[in-house]
Structure formats: C-alpha cells, structure tokens
Amino acid sequence: MIAIVGPTAVGKSELALHLAQHFPLEIISADSRQVYRYMDIGTNKPSLAERARVPHHIIDVVDPDQDFSLATYHRLALEALTAIQQKGKLPLLVGGSGLYVWSLAEGWSIPQVPPDREMRRRLEARAEQEDGRSLHSELEGIDPAAAAKISPRNIRRVVRALEIYYATGQPPSQLQRKEEPGFPVLVIGLTQERSQLYRRIDGRADKMVQRGLIEEVQHLLRKGYSPLLPSMSGIGYKQIVQFLRGEMTLPEAVDKIRHETHRLARHQYAWFRLSDSRIRWFDVTETKERASIVALDEIKGLIEGFIS
C-alpha cells in the first residue's frame, strides 16, 4: 500500500491522479468528510469524471445523518485494500485524516463497537451541563492511556472512548492494538511553504462559494438534515449555515472558513510531522523559476522501486 499524506489543499489528489496515469492503481479516500452523500463542494470531492477515470473507494458511503466511526472506516478500508490487491492493483491511500491513515499503515486493531445513541445523548448532555473536562476526567480514571491521547476539548472522541468502555467493560487502549499490517507500506508526504499553502486554501474557499456551496447547504437543509449533525459541523457547512441564519455576512463566513482551514492544516502537520522518518517528504512550494519543485520523476522512481 502507498499513502499520500499532508495538509489540506497541498495537492494530494492531483498527485494521485497523475500517478494513476503511470501505475495500475485504485484510490482509497482517507478523508473524514467525503464519506457523506450530497456533500460534494464543501468536502472538495473528486469529480465524477475523475472517479470514472480512476476507481475511488470510501466516498459517498453514508447519508449525512448516519453514524460513521473510525471502526467503520477501518473495516471498509481493509475490504477495499483486499479487493484492490486481489485484482493485482496498487492501493493508493489519499487524504489528510491522520487517524484513518495511521490505522491502516500501522495495522491498528479497532474495536467494532456499534454506536449507542442513547448513551451518547446522556454523555453529551453531561458535557454541556458539567463542562467537557468532567467526562475527560472520568476517562482518565478508567483508561489513563486513552485519555492522554485525547484532548478534553474533543468531546466526540472522549464520548466514543467512554462508549467503548461501557459496552465492553475493557479500557479502549487495551482493545486498540497495533500489529504489522501484513503488507509493505510506503508513505509519501507533500508539504508547502506555509504562506503559499494558506493562499491556496483561501483561493479554494472562494472557489467553493463560486461553485455553489451556498446552494449545496440549502439543499441539505431542505432535505431535512439538521445543522447539529456531526456531518454538518464540518468546515464550510457550519459557516454557511450561520450565514443563512443571518448570524454573519457572507464575507465573514468565507473568512471564517479560511481561518478554520488554516487551523486544520496546522492540526494535520501534528499528525504528519516533517521529522517523521516513516514519511518520504516532497516540497511542492512554487517558485519563480519552476511551477513546482516537487520531483515527480523521483516520486515515480520511488514507487517503481517499492513495488518491484
């Protein structure tokens, strides 16, 4: 398996499509938002033409009001990996979700615990009433190792860890083991000078609005999808809902989308560190002399050596 990782808007999907011209591969999405149907523009999904040209997996697999967890992703991704490998093709994992990427690259064992909606409602209500830190303190008492890896501000992950504990009676960290995945893995990282990356992010936010992000959100609301759904909390959707409610102007909403996406990029660099020796990094910063200094020939040579 090959994975292409890096911050949002750096050009991972473009590289994947370019590599598909040279290698018999199929793409597995590692994006936590592209799994939702009807949410295309705000998640920057590959177009139907691109998906027709190169098979993509784990895109449009659930409706916006359906639960989707790391365990669900892991199961679907392993199924896709096996199917692609049985065809004699190369699985290419592409995306910026660190949990999704490393769960496959490091061979995580994910507890297949179905969501308990009633328990989630109770825990989320407690988080609102008592402050989310009380739930995190409870998790620390049950499973210090799991609590150490989850920010107290990430209520969703804290709730999920407690849900796993109460369903199984075992600390989540004991159920989430790492084992060799059983096949070689090559992780390619794309990085870019930060100010240039931010300009790309800002330009993409403008293009999303031009392409119809407002209309896409209106369509979702008309279909009855609540703005409170986890799927609708994603960057772009939340801000456009606020604009439609009159809580901010459109320029303010777009500025907020840019700001939150900058923050996402910084968060992704925490998952995919430039110092991580497991990742072969390539700088795609554009200069006056060259449109991009990414060594495509070097990447292709790296892959050829990896699969030979």
Helix orientation angle between 250-271 and 237-244, rounded to the nearest 10 degrees: 160
pLDDT band at 128 (very low <50, low <70, confident <90, very high): confident
pLDDT of 289 strictly over 80: no
For each of the domains in the chain, give its residue range(s) and CATH number, in order of start: 2-109+184-307 (3.40.50.300), 117-175 (1.10.20.140)
- Which pTM value belongs to this model? 0.86
- pLDDT value at 290 more than 70: no
Q: What is the pLDDT of residue 10?
A: 95
pLDDT band at 133 (very low <50, low <70, confident <90, very high): confident
Residue 147 has pLDDT above 80, yes or no: yes
Between 291 and 173, the higher pLDDT residue: 173
- Amino acid identity, position 270: A
Q: What is the pLDDT of residue 115?
A: 79
Sequence-distant (6+) residues with CB within 8 A of 141 are none
Residue 291 reports pLDDT greater than 60: no
| pLDDT tens digits, 245-277 | 999 999 999 999 999 999 999 999 999 999 999
CA distance linking residue 128 with residue 236, whole number of Å: 24
pLDDT given at position 292: 61
Cα 142 to chain centroid, rounded: 28
Mean pLDDT score, 287-300: 72
State the average pLDDT for the chain. Answer: 93
Taking 60 as the threshold, does the pLDDT of residue 283 lie above it? yes
Is 80 exceeded by the pLDDT of residue 76? yes
List, in order, residues 6 or more apart from 112 with CB less than 8 Å away: 71, 75
**pLDDT (0 to 100) of residue 288:** 61
pLDDT digits (tens, 9 = 90+) for 205-228: 999 999 999 999 999 999 999 999
pLDDT band for position 173 (cuts 50, 70, 90):
confident
Task: Please check the confidence at residue 293 and state whether its pLDDT lies above 60.
Answer: no
Q: What is the pLDDT of residues 13-52, one digit of tens each?
A: 999 999 999 999 999 999 999 999 999 999 999 999 999 9
**The predicted structure's pLDDT at residue 114:** 81
pLDDT for the residue 238: 97
Is 300:19 a contact under the CB 8 Å cutoff?
Answer: yes
The residue type found at 67 is: D
